[in-house]
A and B are shown apart, each in its own frame.
Chain A
Amino acid sequence: MQPTRLQRLNPTKTNLWFDLAIFVAALLAPAVFLTGLTIHEWLGIGLGVAIIVHLLLHWQWLVQVTKRFFTRLPRSSRINYVLNSLFFVDMTLIVFSGLMISRVALPLFGIELAHGGIWQQLHIFASSFMVFILALHVARHWKWILNAVQRYVLQPVFRPQRRLAVPSTPATLNKEGAL
């Protein structure tokens, strides 16, 4: 059976470009003075969708670690799991509180909610907290990021002839799948 186009995609490469896009969006989204409120709100909603896709891409790791969380599990995986859970909770709060105080996206569909108040404070607090969790998330995966950038960004640009020697499915890079 012929593999489909999606199956032929290199998972590490897909993860790298997708995560890079999420990272840039997560840096831009809090800067409402740079983007404007309209882009800020739609970027935030897009970020929420992107987080779901990110979780789907790492579903195997998620299931494996959830199953083994209270039994035998390497300490680094346990820390990553707790950190990622915090990240998910924080992103959920940011997106939801953002929707609650939305002035552009929801009114477009005729939904007008009360602005300000506790949801606005929660939105601000959660987005400030998000930057630190994002930083820790990046720091915890810096080796993977470094290797992937070297292999899929730097090598093809600076040494394209060596690309042929690189195996198409780099199992060593795909640390997310392994515990």
Chain B
Amino acid sequence: MKILLRILIILAVAAVVVGATAGVTQLSAVQAAMGSTGAGHHRDFPQASSTTGAVSSQSGSTALTDTNQSSAASTGDQPGERFGNSRGAQGSSLLGLSEVLKNLAIVAAVSLVFVAGSWLSHRLRPRLTPAAVSKAVQD
């Protein structure tokens, strides 16, 4: 019962977040801004409605030409088919693997910067001698 209540609280907070976002997306200014920046900008998968076009990564590092987007998007199980050649599956896997590695590299880099920063701040912090501590207490 307690766990159920907690789950309901979490879902309620999530509903507030979703509601607020849905409200914001209804604003014409936001729709205009998103429309101007995001037109034809799909990183992960092609639009189901389109039959031809380009799939590009958000970072702009990859761009794939595709002629069978509709069928590939509807099944979704064989992303390699999107490449339209025999090496499609391999290329697709490599692209996916590179994305995983990129994410892992971001996590590693941020962690390293954070660890280095905390280590440096620990090293640079002035250490109080017992005499200084007793003086501070007296003051």
Contact = CB atoms under 8 A, between A and B. Distances in A.
Interface string A32-53: 1111111011000000000010
A103 B48 contact: yes
B111 A31 contact: no
Nearest to A48: B14
Interface residues of B, number: 50
B63 interface: no
A106 interface: no
B45 A31 contact: no
B99 A118 contact: no
Interface in B67-113: 73-79, 92-93, 95-97, 99-100, 103-104, 106-107, 109-111, 113
B114 A142 contact: yes
B42 A31 contact: no
B18 interface: yes
Contact of A33 (B31, B37, B93, B106): B93
A96 interface: yes
B134 interface: no
User: What interface size band does chain A fall in?
Assistant: 35 or more
Nearest to B110: A135
A134 interface: yes
A85 B6 CA distance: 16
B31 A118 contact: yes
A122 B37 CA distance: 12
A35 B96 contact: yes
Contacts of A123: 44
Contact of B44 (A32, A56, A135, A140): A32
A103 B76 contact: yes
Contact of A40 (B14, B44, B75): B44
A138 interface: yes
A115 B115 CA distance: 42
Contacts of B18: 92-93, 96
A83 B50 CA distance: 38
Contacts of B47: 115-116
A122 B43 contact: no
Interface in B18-77: 18, 21, 25, 30-31, 34-35, 37-38, 41-45, 47-49, 58, 73-77
B106 A135 contact: yes
The 7 A-B pairs of least Cβ separation, nearest first, read A34-B96, A37-B76, A135-B110, A139-B114, A33-B96, A121-B38, A31-B96
12 contacts: A27-B107, A31-B96, A33-B96, A33-B99, A36-B79, A52-B7, A56-B6, A88-B17, A89-B17, A121-B41, A124-B41, A124-B58
Given A115-B48, A123-B44, A138-B111, 12 more contacts: A28-B100, A36-B76, A37-B76, A55-B6, A56-B7, A89-B17, A93-B17, A104-B76, A116-B49, A134-B107, A136-B110, A139-B113
